[in-house]
Amino acid sequence: MTENNANSPASEPSSPSHSATARRAGPLLGLMDVPGDKSISHRALMLGALAVGTTHIEGLLEGDDIHATANALRAMGITVVQDAPGVWHVDGVGVGGLHAPDDVLDLGNSGTSARLLCGLLAGHGFTAIMTGDDSLRKRPMNRVLDPLTQMGVRVETREAGQMPISFTGADMLLPIIYTLPVPSAQVKSAVLLAGLHAPGQTTVIEPIATRDHTERMLTHMGAVIDITESSEGRRITITGQGELSPASVTVPSDPSSAAFPAVAATIVPDSVVTLEGIGMNPARVGIFKSLVDMGASIEKTNPREESGEPLADLKIRGSALTGAKIPASRAASMIDEYPVLAMAAACAIGTSRFEGVGELRVKESDRLATLEAGLRACGVKVETDADSMTIEGCGGPPPGGATIATSLDHRIAMSFLVLGLATEKPVKIDDIRPSKTSFPDFAESMRCLGADIREAS
């Protein structure tokens, strides 16, 4: 548990010149274009690189994380070109066709790039060195490296499996059957991408289902993949050493990014906001289910499917919220959205409890600690332990009036700006730059709805 005192992270802004402040204003009204799905954007680039021919992508997220993936692929001989805003193409070289990079692959803050690229590189018999920024170098990598070493790759890391990583793939990988010890779509995807290069069949068993964008896109590009339910959980089996076909991919709007304007519209009275083309993958909609459980008004219209992914339009209205218990079983479908859901809980009547959220300790920051410090600084009562968070809602606008240290975490930064739209006093964050990771025009997009978010000049 973090104490709220003069030395807490919430009271030490690190980059005042890049700060931003959110204030209460009128209702949020209008239509917002939400950026493309980050998870799907990564996969579209990577699987396009392994296809034989040109993959055309529309709606690609153009945030820092996606540029990290694109640059890494270029360093390994792949042509990745932006044709227009959000419109890209990738000239694939086939499974096993990547070239050894001439230099270190710097993946910035992108954990998805790092973990999925390990699977992509596993079937190539060359050595690549991967690193990232200070935050990424602190994040655990052993969970993805363990199954890949079972398949025959060789790795060297810093202590606790942290980056930089020297990663040497194998020309002949061993197919394996691997049960995920913790729910992780990134680990599952890395093993499936490695399995694409291995002879025979590679199987991943997930006792708790995670987001299935990799399986859907592999199917969209012609991979031989079989998915069944068993007593052990969901079994995903891929047959390796086949070819992927280039495809057109339309990236839906990211439900994780949509969560910010959705919560903002919910906690700012009299708001009516429409979000179009939001990804409705069943493994990603936990945030919307949780908001509805708390009393939010969310109307889903125009359901449809594009490139193997379901999507719909959402209309969100300002609502009086009530605290709710969010079970651990929902965590895999909304792990990235708990920070902004915590802002909704802070405004609700009664107590909210989030269970099974220990994974937040090893994200871009220790999100549980950072959330607790920030909420306490804003006058909200909160307690955390190793795997849960309990928030006593203020039953209306929280006091606010704090400066939040975001720990260079994009979701923390945007979440507290959302809270500041509803608090009695403004909420300031120390650095808005990390929002470019997943939502490059976040502040401007929110201002178009009527939000009062001011960035330091």
User: Is 336 an annotated catalytic residue?
Assistant: yes
Beta pairing partners, 452: 23
How is 224-248 classified by DSSP, letter by letter?
Answer: -EEEEEETTEEEEEEE-S--BPP-E
Quote the CA–CA distance of 110 and 118 in Å, as a whole number: 13
Distance in angstroms (rounded) separating the CA atoms of residues 235 and 218: 15
| 86 in Cβ contact with 78 (< 8 Å) | no
Q: Return the axis-axis angle of helices 38-50 and 111-121, rounded to nearest 10°.
A: 20
Q: Is 354 helix (H, G, I), strand (E, B) or coil?
A: strand
Q: Is the preceding omega at residue 164 within 30 degrees of 0, hence cis?
A: yes
CA distance 216 to 373: 39
Instruction: Kindly write down the DSSP assignment for every residue of 229-298, as one continuous string.
Output: EETTEEEEEEE-S--BPP-EEEPPBPHHHHHHHHHHHHHSTT-EEEEEEEE--TTT-HHHHHHHHTT-EE
- Show Cβ contacts of residue 169 under 8 Å, excluding neighbours closer than 6 positions: 121, 122, 123, 124, 125, 126, 153
What is the Cβ-side half-sphere exposure of residue 240, based on CA atoms within 13 angstroms?
25
Closest C-alpha to 389, from 351, 362, 427, 363: 351
- 8 Å CB contact between 171 and 99: no
The H or E element containing residue 124 is: none
CA–CA dist 223, 245 (Å, integer): 8
Quote the crossing angle between the two packed helices 255-267 and 410-420, to the nearest 10°.
Answer: 20
Helix (H, G, I), strand (E, B) or coil at 126: coil
Distance (Å, rounded) from C-alpha 425 to C-alpha 372?
A: 19
Place of tokens 């909210």: 352
Q: Distance between CA 227 and CA 230 in Å, rounded?
A: 10
The catalytic residue among 254, 336, 430, 431 is 336
Residue type at position 260: F
Residue 119, sorted as left (phi over 0), alpha (psi -120 to 50) or beta, turns out to be alpha
Residues assigned a catalytic role: 336
